[in-house]
Structure 1
Amino acid sequence: MTVSVLVVDDQPLVRHAVRDILIDGGLVVAGEASNGLDAVRLTKTAAPDVVLMDIRMPEMDGIAATALICAQNDSAAQPRVLILTTFEEDENVVAALRAGASGFIGKGAEPDEIVRAVRTVHRGEALLSSTATRALIERSIRRGGSDPAVRWTTALALLTPRELEVLVLVAEGLANAEIAAGLTISPHTAKTHVNRIMSKVGARDRAQLVILAYETGLVVAGA
């Protein structure tokens, strides 16, 4: 399957290097942008499948751009956003995840890792399964970086006991097959539960389910 990518970074050398990595990996580069404003504009005209987004940029940063891209009314035109960051422990990454990003990867990653990451988020999966990523989310929440009452708390009341079980396992980084094995259900049933949870709470992907679980206290930071 052909996957098109918009590369967003304010440093030309980084953009060009990433563009070459993606092309060599069999992906299509739909365009390049040097700031968030251009990124938002190009998602509408170039219609990429994935936006590979830097955070710190002039005019509009990657967090604000991610929020605007993920808030587009036409869901069919909403690309997945993958944060490409120099500092993987930067708490701005968590802000980008809250804004709708599907995950993040460091600029120091190997070329094949970047290509795999793009394909992963394009499939609707989240790059949030590592211990380091969950630790980042936990640290942000401990420092008061969330306001669950505004967005998520009432959402949990919509879920069945089984769906709450599944949500906890998603937050722990388990894939559908692992969830199925743990709950003695089929992978298809696990996938159905995950999709139903996302629909009920208004989450666009698994990354937001992880944020929901931590911010509402369903999964306790550091537990």
Structure 2
Amino acid sequence: MGVRLMVVDDHRLLAEALASALKLRGHRVLAAAAPSAGAADLVVSRAPEVCLLGTATPAEPGAFDPVVRIKRERPQVAVVVLGPVPSPLGIAAAFAAGASGYVRHNERIEGVERAMMKARAGEAAVDPQLLQGAFTELLNPAAQPDDEGARLLQLLTPREVEVLVRVAEGRTRD
């Protein structure tokens, strides 16, 4: 028997396409929606077994507030986050909010379906390679800096860096 689910994503076209593909695979899609102030309300009122919740910005503060609300009001709903290749903090934030899984946007439909089934069964639904990459980055942060400042610093010439350092130190002349 298929999974009773809802699909909520920042991109309505993606939500509707994913919902259609999952219907064709025998699942019962209760709704496909774009997130708005009412998306969490809709999930709470319909009480699906699984909610596929897309986000374009998993590292943004508040990105997983809907997950917190859904899990608080309907703890039996398994929420699987659909997102871009995340930072380790994004994955951690999703699970801390109560998500049951994390699936990258570039995953095939079979991977999404596997994640839904695992989440419905109460298992963590996350690709082991994704977890391995997250742990590697968390344990070796210098190996993969994700700091925007460091990236921008690479764009400056040595002289521009020197001037910037002097300005930061409060020196305007030699």
Q: Which has the higher helix share?
A: 1
Query: 2:54 is matched by which residue type in structure 1?
Result: D
Alpha-carbon distance in structure 1 between the residues aligned to 2:104 and 2:90: 13
| Pairing 1:82–2:80 present | yes
Alpha-carbon distance in structure 2 between the residues aligned to 1:30 and 1:62: 23
- CA offsets 1:91-138 (integer angstroms, 9 cap, x no match): 323201111101111121111221121111111111246143144156
Q: Which moved more, 1:105-114 or 1:88-97?
A: 88-97
Residue in structure 2 matched with residue 106 of structure 1 by the alignment: 104
Q: How is 1:22-41 mapped onto 2 (pairs within 5 angstroms)?
A: 22-35=22-35, 37-41=37-41
Alpha-carbon distance in structure 1 between the residues aligned to 2:65 and 2:44: 16
Unaligned runs of 5+ in 1: 144-223
What is the TM-score of this pair, normalised by structure 2? 0.68
1:141 to 1:33, Cα distance in 2 relative to 1, 3 A? farther
- CA offsets 1:145-168 (integer angstroms, 9 cap, x no match): xxxxxxxxxxxxxxxxxxxxxxxx
Alpha-carbon distance in structure 1 between the residues aligned to 2:86 and 2:69: 22
Residue 3 of structure 1 deviates from its aligned partner by: 1.3
Unaligned runs of 5+ in 2: 142-174
Is the Cα–Cα contact under 8 Å of residues 30 and 46 in structure 1 kept in the other structure?
yes
Residue in structure 1 matched with residue 147 of structure 2 by the alignment: none
Query: 1:105 is matched by which residue type in structure 2?
Result: V
Is the Cα–Cα contact under 8 Å of residues 105 and 117 in structure 1 kept in the other structure?
yes
1:129 to 1:7, Cα distance in 2 relative to 1, 3 A? closer
Residue in structure 2 matched with residue 9 of structure 1 by the alignment: 9
Alpha-carbon distance in structure 1 between the residues aligned to 2:38 and 2:28: 19
Residue 4 of structure 1 deviates from its aligned partner by: 1.0
Tell me which structure has the larger Cα radius of gyration: 2
Residue in structure 2 matched with residue 47 of structure 1 by the alignment: 47
Is the Cα–Cα contact under 8 Å of residues 5 and 52 in structure 1 kept in the other structure?
yes
Residue in structure 1 matched with residue 124 of structure 2 by the alignment: 126
Is the Cα–Cα contact under 8 Å of residues 53 and 62 in structure 1 kept in the other structure?
no
1:113 to 1:132, Cα distance in 2 relative to 1, 3 A? closer
SS of 1:104's equivalent in the other structure is strand
Identical-pair percentage: 25
Runs of 4+ in 1 over 6 A off after TM superposition: none
Is the Cα–Cα contact under 8 Å of residues 21 and 115 in structure 1 kept in the other structure?
no
Alpha-carbon distance in structure 1 between the residues aligned to 2:46 and 2:94: 22
Is the Cα–Cα contact under 8 Å of residues 88 and 135 in structure 2 kept in the other structure?
no
Alpha-carbon distance in structure 2 between the residues aligned to 1:67 and 1:137: 24
Query: 2:114 is matched by which residue type in structure 1?
Result: R
1:103 to 1:8, Cα distance in 2 relative to 1, 3 A? same
When the two chains are superposed, the root-mean-square deviation of aligned CA atoms in Å is: 2.5
What is the TM-score of this pair, normalised by structure 1? 0.54
Is the Cα–Cα contact under 8 Å of residues 6 and 32 in structure 2 kept in the other structure?
yes
1:89 to 1:21, Cα distance in 2 relative to 1, 3 A? farther
